[in-house]
Amino acid sequence: MNFTEFSFWWLLVLSIVPLLIVRFLGKRLKFWKDDYDRIGLMLLSLLLFYNASSKSFIIFAFEIIFNYAMVWLMLRRRGWEAQVIAVVVIVIDVAILAYFKYLNFFLEDLLGLAVRGVGGNWGGDVAIPGVRAIPPGLSFYTFEMVAFVVDSLRSKDKKPIGFIDYINFVSFFPHVVAGPIERRSKLFPQMAKFRFKFSVENFEVGLRWLALGLFMKLVLGDNLTQYIDYQETANAWLVWLSIYLFTLRIYFDFAGYSFMAVGIAKAMGVELTINFLAPYTALSIQEFWRRWHITLNNWFRDYVFLPLMGTKKQWAAFYLFITFTLSGFWHGASWNFVLWGAYHGFLLLLLRYTGRFLGQRLLMPDFVSWAVTFWSVMFGCLFFMETNISRLGIKLQTLANPLAYSLSNVNNAISSFSVNQLGALGFTLILANVVLFLEHLAVWQKRESEYDLLLLPWVARVLLGLTILFAANEPSQFIYFDF
């Protein structure tokens, strides 16, 4: 679901208003049962998902039916029989994801090596006819279904699960396409007891989250997008500027989506996990990953890292590195994402073995720790944003070349923008840094939430007004829709 498209809101209103009118009349005429609310939510979510992508919906419908039937059977078995069923379900789910997401990658590389040779250009530009693009949401709802299978296998509660409740758990429309990746213990009970209850408090809080998300996405993320130059390789200043802008953009883009999802769900009385906790306030890489894309990190921790490590805690560092490399590969079927995951795995290992020594002996001030962490994250964004491996190598060479930082390149960088562009970019960066400052201030004041200051009623209204005035003329697609 694209919350920035008018068609989404139009269809939502056209669907939910008649539903609520029928519900109201049904309550008055005493034929509407409370369980009908869950059916109404199911139909609403499936309709919105089908409208977003009919192709993905077909795969989604198959996986829902298959997973529910297998979990239903698994809950009636014990011991090794239940474990075999769980393994079969997980393998099939992952195989479907791998076919749509990674087949093209493997074919491109194998054919590319055959055609170009080992020393050829791994630019990812070879197209394989007949291989489909990844359907929207597939990565997210597959991970959620896999987690549900594992949690159900581990759970002591072997009571049957309702089919409608399971559909609502997986397909709840605010989060089905790009998360957050919810767990059975938190969201499923809410879906099993779901009722349409639009309270003033929920609506007010939901609108604040929605206003914050819209501002982050439409004003900050989308306005920064047009100044990111993916092709520039020779001017180090422009390369760094693009990396910095992309670092801001990916946060405002994805956090914006997550906050909109939280706001819409909150207005309906449903609590979703806050997927970001001001990650750019982190004082270490370890803290950064406790604040960034939290539900995905928890998924890899619980279903990849811990099972891999088992009781071999002496190998924890190795398995941590493997987990982050796999996490990078999840983000995209390209070598740059593998490098990005390995890079962050390496940083965590570096912190593990040297961080305590440096922190205790050198007593680095918080500002220095923050600056080093932010620069490390920003540099890593180069691996994330540049999907062409050959061009990535050239950019790395440019950044390491002192001659690329000449004064003439400074002048060339400035002259590449018009006066209006410089003004617009400067204004957007001011707004972006005000948001980041308010996040830092909330963390420094140890407020209940990192976003307390941004969710104040009057601030939310200001953000909504700024969104109306300065939203990008051409909104870009959410970055994580590609993953």
- The rounded distance, in Å, linking the Cα atoms of 9 and 15 is 10
**Residues contacting 38, CB < 8 A, separation 6+:** 164, 165, 168, 191, 192, 194
The DSSP line for 209-221 is HHHHHHIIIIIII
For residue 61, count other CB atoms closer than 10 A to its CB: 15
CA neighbor of 221 nearest in space, from 178, 260, 241, 250? 250
- The rounded distance, in Å, linking the Cα atoms of 45 and 177 is 11
- The rounded distance, in Å, linking the Cα atoms of 246 and 229 is 10
Q: What is the CA radius of gyration of the chain?
A: 24
Angle between helices 163-171 and 184-192 (to 10 degrees): 120
**Residues contacting 24, CB < 8 A, separation 6+:** none
Residue 179 banded pLDDT, cuts 50, 70, 90: confident
Residues labelled as active-site residues: 331
Residue 3 banded pLDDT, cuts 50, 70, 90: confident
Residue pair 123/388 in contact (Cβ under 8 Å)? The answer is yes
Residue 392 tokens, joined = 């990535």
Residue 483 banded pLDDT, cuts 50, 70, 90: low
SS3 463: helix
Residue pair 249/195 in contact (Cβ under 8 Å)? The answer is no
Cis upstream peptide for 279 (omega within 30°): no
pLDDT in tens, 305-350: 999 888 888 888 889 999 999 999 888 878 899 999 999 999 988 8
Q: Is the pLDDT at 129 greater than 70, yes or no?
A: no
- The rounded distance, in Å, linking the Cα atoms of 267 and 337 is 36
Q: Is the pLDDT at 122 greater than 50, yes or no?
A: no
Q: How much of the chain is in helix, strand and coil states, percent to nearest 5?
A: 75, 0, 25
Residue pair 219/431 in contact (Cβ under 8 Å)? The answer is yes
pLDDT in tens, 354-404: 755 444 445 567 888 899 999 999 999 999 999 889 999 999 999 999 999
pLDDT of res. 111 = 59
Q: Is the pTM of this model over 0.75?
A: yes
Residue pair 347/376 in contact (Cβ under 8 Å)? The answer is yes
Annotate 376-444 with three-state secondary structure. HHHHHHHHHHCCCHHHHHHHHHHHHCHHHHCHHHHHHHHHCCCHHHHHHHHHHHHHHHHHHHHHHHHHH
Query: With pLDDT > 70 as the criterion, what percentage of the chain qualifies?
Result: 92
The DSSP line for 225-264 is HTT--SS--S-HHHHHHHHHHHHHHHHHHHHHHHHHHHHH
pLDDT in tens, 420-474: 999 999 999 999 999 999 999 999 999 999 999 999 999 999 999 999 999 888 7
Residue where the block lists tokens 């539903």: 19
Residue pair 276/439 in contact (Cβ under 8 Å)? The answer is no
Q: Is the pLDDT at 169 greater than 90, yes or no?
A: yes
Angle at CA of residue 78, ends 76 and 80, nearest 5°: 130
pLDDT in tens, 187-232: 999 999 999 888 899 999 999 999 999 999 999 999 999 999 999 8
The DSSP line for 326-359 is HHHHHH-SSHHHHHHHHHHHHHHHHIIIIIHHHH
SS3 480: helix
Residue pair 305/285 in contact (Cβ under 8 Å)? The answer is no
pLDDT of res. 233 = 87
Residue pair 11/17 in contact (Cβ under 8 Å)? The answer is no
Residue 261 tokens, joined = 């999802």
49 backbone dihedrals φ, ψ, rounded to 5°: -70, -40
Query: With pLDDT > 90 as the criterion, what percentage of the chain qualifies?
Result: 68
pLDDT of res. 177 = 84
Angle between helices 79-116 and 54-74 (to 10 degrees): 150
- The rounded distance, in Å, linking the Cα atoms of 405 and 235 is 7
Residue 428 tokens, joined = 């957007």
CA neighbor of 268 nearest in space, from 38, 458, 18, 455? 38
